[in-house]
Amino acid sequence: MDKAEALGLYQKLYLVRRCEEKIREEYFKDEMKTPVHLGIGGEAISVGVVQALPPAALTFGTYRNHALYLAKTDDVEGFFGELYGRASGRCKGKAGSMHLCYPERGLVATSAVVGTTIPVALGAAMASRYRGRNEVVAAFFGDGATEEGTFWESLNYASLRGLRLLLICEDNELAIHTHVNDRQGHEGLLSAVSGFRCHAERADGSDLPAVLEAARGILRKMEKDPRPGFLHLSYYRFLEHVGPLEDFKFAYRKKPEEKELQRRDPVHRFEQTLAALGARAEEIANVRSKVDERVLKEVAAAQKAPFPEPSELMTDVFV
């Protein structure tokens, strides 16, 4: 990775972080009337994988989708419009945070029912194969989603048909407040999926270059040998499951040491990469201030934007 590419990636990474920090600042004004599942700590996964994917690749995600949405679409206006429930929202306020999507830019759908977009991504991969192309389709989901039967059904079918379905497991070891050890009866996801005819890779999801490398690696394998890929990326969820706060005061987990927190912070980590690549402090600051400005502007715009018309209630049910 050279400095230019790294600064480009940093711009995305920092945009995601900044947007979510802004949500945290604004949230208690109670103007964003939508549950927010913040991804702070996991930003490098979406940013890295999206970077590695072909730009046209169709992607699918979950309710914890802010990073994916911003990385894939760069649509800050539609993002905040949606969180504020405005007509300017990408989904006209009908989605809120949990269902953000932008099909035209390749983020086809996200869902707040765990696991449900995995088979949908499978169907998109089938469609590509149907057209004789077998392009990569990507599904992002949490570790909890692998407990749903639909994950195994989808993996089985993609393996059977040699579909280029990239399954990205964003593993924070938690489903809400329940640790993976209280949920999964195998010796690790990689070994559990390896009985199927798929490619499987693991990487540190807090480390953007590592994510990028792992994603590129598995995509190369999928290119050569058309099978689904399972990309297992670990990260640390800094905040509560849903909402803008930390929740270290609850017994289900302990606050890590400051040093460990820094190690698990992908923005912090990547700033060190940048420095190592020779980026100067003001270059970094420059990226940040542009992002800061953009975020402020879009939040202000969203706060002033009109709500959807009452007639919107009845539209969009059927074509």
Ligand X SMILES: Cc1ncc(C[n+]2csc(CCOP(=O)(O)OP(=O)(O)O)c2C)c(N)n1
317 binds ligand X (CB under 6 A): no
Residue 32 binding partner per list its own copies, Mg ion, ligand X, none, with a CB distance cut-off of 5 to 8 Å that depends on partner kind: none
**Torsions phi, psi of 252, nearest 5?**
-70, -20
The binding track of 236-255 with respect to ligand X, each residue x by CB under 6 A or -, is -----x--------------
Contacting range for ligand X; rule: CB under 6 A; set: 69-77, 174-182, 277-285, 311-319: 174-182
The region, left, alpha or beta by phi > 0 then psi within -120 to 50, assigned to residue 159 is alpha
State which of positions 147-176 bind other proteins (CB under 8 A): 147-150, 153-154, 156-157, 160, 175-176
Q: Which is nearer to its own copies, 94 or 197 (CB)?
A: 197
**Residue 61 lies near Mg ion (rule: CB under 5 A):** no
Binding mask 15-54 for other proteins (x = CB under 8 A): ------------xx-x-xxxxx------------------
Interacting residue with ligand X among 97, 117, 159, 172 (CB under 6 A): 172
88-127 residues in contact with other proteins (CB under 8 A) are: 89-99, 101-104, 108-109, 111-127
Number of Cβ within a 10 Å radius of residue 308: 17
Which residue's structure tokens are 């009866």?
185
By CB under 8 A, residue 304 contacts other proteins = no
- Does position 34 interact with ligand X (CB under 6 A)? The reply is no
Q: Which residues contact 76 (CB under 8 A, 6 or more apart)?
A: 15, 19, 70, 294, 295, 298
Minimum Å distance from CB 179 to ligand X? 10
Q: Which residue in the block uniquely carries the two structure tokens 């690696």?
A: 217
Pick between residue 135 and residue 240 the one whose CB is nearest to ligand X. 240
Q: Which does 153 bind (CB under 5 to 8 A by kind): Mg ion, its own copies, ligand X, none?
A: its own copies
CA 291 – CA 7 distance, rounded (Å): 12
User: What length is written for the chain?
Assistant: 319
Residues 121-150 vs Mg ion: string with x where CB under 5 A? ---------------------xx-------
Minimum distance between the CB of residue 233 and other proteins, rounded to whole angstroms? Answer: 18
Cα 158 to Cα 163: distance, rounded to the nearest angstrom = 5
Is 66 an interacting residue with respect to ligand X (CB under 6 A)? no
Name the residue among 45, 80, 96 with its Cα closest to residue 297. 80
Residues that bind its own copies (CB under 8 A): 147-153, 155-161, 182-187, 191-198
Residue 194, number of CB atoms within 10 A of its CB:
13
DSSP bridge pairs for 165: 137
Question: Are 6 and 275 a contacting pair, CB within 8 Å?
Answer: no
283: CB partners within 8 A, 6+ apart = 7
Q: Which of residues 157-176 bind Mg ion (CB under 5 A)?
A: 172, 174
Please give the single-letter amino acid code of residue 299.
V
Other Cβ atoms closer than 10 A to 57? 20
| Site of interaction with Mg ion (CB under 5 A) | 142-143, 172, 174
